Structure 1
Amino acid sequence: MTIEFGLDTFGDVTRGADGELLSHAQTIRNVVAQAELADRVGVDFFGVGEHHRPEFAVSAPEMVLAAIASRTESIRLGTAVTVLSSDDPVRVFERFATLDAVSNGRAEVVLGRGSFIESFPLFGYDLRDYEALFEEKLDLLVELLKEKPVTWSGTMRSSLTDADVFPKTENGMRAWVGVGGSPESVVRVARHGVGLMLAIIGGPAGRFRPFVDLYHRSVQSFGTPTNPIAVHSPGHIADTDEEAWETAYPGFEAMNNTIGRERGWPAYSRARFQNDVGPAGAIYSGSPERVAAKIADTIRTLGIGRFDMKYATGTLTHEAMMRSIELYGTEVIPRVKQLLADG
Structure 2
Amino acid sequence: MELGIGMFGDNHFTPDGKALPTGQRLQELLTEVKLMDEIGVDFFGIGEHHRPDYSVSVPEIILAAAASVTKRIKLGSGVTVLSSADPVRVYQQFATIDLLSGGRAEICAGRGSFIESFPVYGYDLKDYETLFEEKLDLLVKINQQERITWKGKLRPALNNQLILPRATNNHLPIWVAVGGTPESVVRAARLGLPVIFAIIGGNPKHFQPLFQYYREAWQHFGHDPAKLQVGVHMHAFFGKQSKQVADEYYPHYAAQMNRVGADRGWAPYQRSQFEAGRSSNGHLLIGDAQEAIDKILQLQEMFGLTRFSAHMDVGGPDHAALMQSIEIFGNEIAPAVRKALQK
TM-score range (shorter-chain normalised) is: over 0.9
Aligned positions of 1:56-135 closer than 5 A: 56-135=54-133
Output one character per residue of 1:252-307: Cα deviation in whole Å (capped at 9) or x when no partner: 10111111111111111111100001112111111101111111110111001000
Mapping 1:188-199, distance limit 5 Å: 188-199=187-198
Determine if contact 1:228/1:304 at 8 Å carries over to the other structure.
yes
1:202 Cα deviation from its structure 2 partner = 0.9
State the shift of 1:150 in Å.
1.4
Distance 2:340 2:317 in 1: 29
Question: 1:94 touches 1:165 (CA, 8 Å); kept in 2?
Answer: yes
Post-superposition CA distance 1:298-341 (Å, at most 9, x none): 01110010000001111311111110000000000111123334
Structure-1 residue corresponding to 2:207: 208
| Alpha-carbon distance between aligned partners in 2 of 1:20 and 1:179, rounded to the nearest angstrom | 32
Report deviation, 1:18: 12
Look up the match of 1:313: 314
Q: CA 1:16–1:69 in structure 2 vs 1: closer, same or farther (change >3 Å)?
A: farther
Structure 2 equivalent of residue 26 of structure 1: 24
* Pair 1:125–1:39, CA change in 2 (3 A): same
Give the Cα–Cα distance (whole angstroms) in 2 for the partners of residues 298 and 205 of structure 1: 8
Aligned to 1:286: 287
CA distance in 1, matches of 2:89, 2:17: 39
Of 19-28 and 261-270, the range deviating more from structure 2: 19-28
Counterpart Cα distance in 1 of 2:244 and 2:103: 38
C-alpha separation between the residues in 2 aligned to 1:30 and 1:227?
A: 35
Q: 1:22 to 1:152 in 2, by over 3 A?
A: same
SS in 2 for 1:145: helix
Q: 2: CA distance between counterparts of 1:38 and 1:16?
A: 27
Instruction: Name the structure 2 match of 1:11.
Output: 9
> Following the alignment from structure 1 to structure 2, what is the Cα–Cα distance between the partners of residues 18 and 183?
42
Structure 2, gaps ≥5 residues long: none
Contact between 1:147 and 1:168, CA under 8 Å: does it hold in 2?
Answer: no
Counterpart code for 1:338: K
| CA displacement at 1:147 relative to structure 2 | 3.0
For residues 181-233 of structure 1, give each alpha carbon's deviation from its aligned partner in whole angstroms, at most 9, with x where no partner exists: 00111000001111101111012222111111111111111123543111100
Q: Displacement of 1:25 after TM fit?
A: 0.8
2:47 is matched with which residue?
49
**Kept in 1: contact 2:9–2:316 (CA 8 A):** no
Residue segments in structure 1 that go unaligned for 5+ positions in a row:
none
SS of corresponding position for 1:157: coil
Q: TM-score scaled by structure 1?
A: 0.96
Distance 1:168 1:149 in 2: 11
**Equivalent position of 2:157 in the other structure:** 159
Count of aligned residue pairs for this structure pair: 340
Out of 166, 172, 177, the position equivalent to 1:168 is 166
Query: Which amino acid in structure 1 is aligned with residue 99 of structure 2?
Result: A
Q: Deviations over 1:9-29 (max 9, x none)?
A: 000001489997431111011
Query: Quick one: which amino acid aligns to residue 108 of structure 2?
Result: V
Letter in 2 for 1:44: D
Q: 1:210–1:19: structure 2 CA closer, same or farther, 3 Å change rule?
A: closer
Separation in 1 of the partners of 2:265 and 2:313? 23
Q: Give me the whole-angstrom Cα distance separating, in 1, the residues matched to 2:84 and 2:19.
A: 29
Contact 2:19-2:53 at 8 Å conserved across structures: no
Q: CA deviation at 1:247?
A: 2.0
Aligned mates of 1:307, 1:167 — CA distance in 2? 30
Matches within 5 A, 1:187-336: 187-225=186-224, 226-336=227-337
Aligned to 1:136, which of 111, 117, 134? Answer: 134
Q: Which moved more, 1:91-100 or 1:243-252?
A: 243-252
Question: 1:131-160: per-residue Cα shift (whole Å, max 9, x none)?
Answer: 000010001001001133111111011111
Cα offsets for 1:60-86 (capped at 9, x unmatched): 111011111100010000000000000
For 2:316, what is the secondary structure of its paired residue? coil
> Is the contact between residue 247 and residue 316 of structure 1 (CA under 8 Å) also seen in structure 2?
no
Equivalents in 2 of 1:16, 1:106: separation in Å? 36
Q: In the superposition, relative to structure 1, how do residues 19 and 259 fare at CA in structure 2: closer, same or farther (>3 Å)?
A: closer
* Letter paired with 2:206: R
Quote the Cα distance in structure 2 between the aligned partners of 1:265 and 1:140: 36
